[in-house]
Structure 1
Amino acid sequence: MLQYITSLFKKCSTLADVKQIHARVIRTGSTESKNLNLFVLGKIINFCAVSEHGDMGYAAKVFESARKPDGFLWNAMIRGFGNSGRRERAFEYYRRMRGAGVAADNFTFCFLLKASWHLGSVPLSRQLHCSTVKCGLDEHGFVRNGLVHMYGMIEDIEAAVRLFDEMPERNVVAWNTVLDCLVSCGRGGEALDVFADMMRGGGIGPDEATFVVMLSACSQVGALDYGRWLHDFINHADLSDVVPVCNALIDMYAKCGAVGEAYMVFADMSRKNRITWNTMILGLAMHGHSEDALKLFSRMLKDGFQEPDHVTFLGVLCACSHGGMVNEGKLYFESMRKDYHIEPTIRHYGCMVDMLGRAGFLEEAYELIRSMPIRCNAIVWRSLLCACRTHGNIELGEMVRKKLLHLEPDHSSDYVQLSGIHASVGQWNLVLNERRMMKDRGVEKPEPGYSFVGVDDINDGVVCSI
Structure 2
Amino acid sequence: MAAHLRAWKRCMSLAQRCTTMRQLKPIHAIFLTHGLHHNNYALSKLLAFCALSDSGSLSYASLIFTHIQTPNSFIYNTLIRAYSRSSQPQLALHYFHLMLKDYGSNLLAPDNHTFHFVLSACANAKWVLAGKQTHNWVLKNGLVLFDGHVQTALIRVYVECKVLDDACKVFDEIPCLDAIQWNVLMNGYVKCNMGSEALRVFRDMLMSGVEPDEFCVTTVLSACAQTGAVLQGKWIHEYVKKRNGMESDVFVATALVDMYTKCGCIDMAEEVFERMPKRNVFSWAAMIGGLAVHGYARKAIHCLDRMQVDDGIRPDGVVLLGVLVACTHAGLQEEGQLLLDDMENGYGIRPKHEHYSCVVDLLCRAGRLDEALQLIRRMPMKPLASVWGALLSGCRVHNNVDLAELAVEELLMLENDGVEEDGAYVQLSNIYLGARRGEDACRIRRIIGDRGLKKTPGCSMIEVDGKVNEFVSGDVSHLHRAQICAILELLSLELV
Amino acid paired to 1:217: A
Matches within 5 A, 1:36-115: 36-48=41-53, 51=54, 53-101=55-103, 102-115=108-121
Q: Secondary structure at the match of 2:462?
A: coil
Across the aligned residues of Structure 1 and Structure 2, the Cα RMSD in angstroms comes to 2.9
Shift of 1:226: 0.8
What is aligned with 2:449?
439
- Alpha carbons of structure 1 residues 454 and 196: separation in structure 2 relative to 1, 3 Å: farther
Cα distance between partner residues in 2 of 1:223 and 1:108? 41
In the alignment, what sits opposite 1:461?
none
Shift in alpha-carbon separation, 1:57–1:281, aligned structure 2, 3 A: same
Cα distance in 2 between the residues matched to 1:225 and 1:3: 64
Q: Residues of 2 paired with 1:427 and 1:457: CA distance?
A: 47
1:156 paired with 2:163, answer: yes
Equivalent residue in structure 1 for 2:203, among 196, 213, 227: 196
Indicate conservation of the 8 Å contact 2:360/2:387, yes or no.
yes
Q: Could you say which residue in structure 2 is the equivalent of 1:19?
A: 24
**How far has the Cα of 1:39 moved from its partner?**
4.7
Whether the aligned pair in 2 keeps the contact of 1:75 and 1:108 (CA below 8 Å) is: yes
What is aligned with 1:263?
Answer: 270
Contact 2:21 2:50 in 1 (8 A): no
**SS, match of residue 461 in structure 2:** coil
Shift of 1:419: 2.4
Give the 3 Å change call, closer, same or farther, for CA 98–375 of structure 1 in structure 2: farther
* 2:220 alignment partner in structure 1: 214
Please state if 1:372 is matched with 2:379: yes
Check if 1:400 corresponds to 2:407.
yes
Cα deviation for residue 119 of structure 1 reads: 2.4
Moved more, 95-104 or 126-135: 126-135
Query: What displacement does 1:227 show?
Result: 0.6
User: Which residue of 1 is the match for residue 463 of structure 2?
Assistant: 453
Between Structure 1 and Structure 2, whose CA radius of gyration is higher?
2
Q: What's 2:327 paired with?
A: 320
- Determine helix, strand or coil for the equivalent of 1:450: strand
Cα distance in 2 between the residues matched to 1:451 and 1:8: 62
Q: CA deviation at 1:364?
A: 2.9
Tell whether 2:332 aligns with 1:309: no
State the match for 1:250 in structure 2. Answer: 257
C-alpha separation between the residues in 1 aligned to 2:225 and 2:188? Answer: 15
For the structure 1 residues 304 and 241, does the alpha-carbon distance in structure 2 shift closer, same or farther, using more than 3 Å as the test? closer
Q: Give the C-alpha shift of residue 253 in structure 1.
A: 0.9
Aligned-residue offset at 1:187: 0.4
Q: Is the 8 A contact 2:119 2:157 kept in 1?
A: yes
Shift of 1:189: 0.5
- 1:426 is aligned, of 436, 454, 457, to 436
Q: Is the 8 A contact 1:45 1:73 kept in 2?
A: no
Q: Which moved more, 1:86-95 or 1:239-248?
A: 86-95
Which stretch shows the higher mean deviation, 25-34 or 374-383? 25-34
Counting matched residue pairs gives 453
Counterpart-to-counterpart distance in 1, 2:76 and 2:257: 42
Structure 1: tracts of 5 or more residues without a match: 459-466
* 1:185 aligned residue: 192
Compute the TM-score of the two structures, normalised by the length of structure 1: 0.87
State the Cα distance separating 1:235 from its structure 2 match.
0.5
Tell me what 1:286 maps to: 293
Deviations 1:124-147 (A, max 9, x none): 333333343344434432222212
Change (3 A) 1:137 1:384: farther
Q: Shift in Å at residue 220 of structure 1?
A: 0.5
Mapped to 2, the partners of 1:6 and 1:184 lie a distance apart of 46
Distance 1:32 1:38, change over 3 A: closer
How much identity, in percent, do the aligned residues show?
35
* 1:360 counterpart SS class: coil
Report the equivalent of 1:332. 339
Q: Distance in 1 between matches of 2:87 and 2:282?
A: 24
> For residue 464 of structure 1, what is the aligned residue in structure 2?
none
* 2:130 match: 124
How far did residue 230 of structure 1 move? 0.5
Q: CA deviation at 1:454?
A: 3.6
Alpha carbons 1:191, 1:217 under 8 Å: kept: yes
Deviation per CA, 1:232-259, whole angstroms, max 9, x where unpaired? 0001112101111111111111111212
Change (3 A) 1:455 1:347: farther
Partner of residue 229, structure 1: 235
Shift of the 181–9 alpha-carbon distance from structure 1 to 2, 3 Å rule, reads farther
Contact 1:41 1:63 in 2 (8 A): no
Higher relative contact order (CA 8 A, sep 6+): 1
- Provide the residue aligned with 1:34 in structure 2: 39
| More moved, 413-422 vs 263-272 | 413-422
Unaligned stretches of 5+ residues in structure 2: 1-5, 469-496
Q: Distance in 2 between matches of 1:79 and 1:132?
A: 17
Displacement of 1:112: 2.4
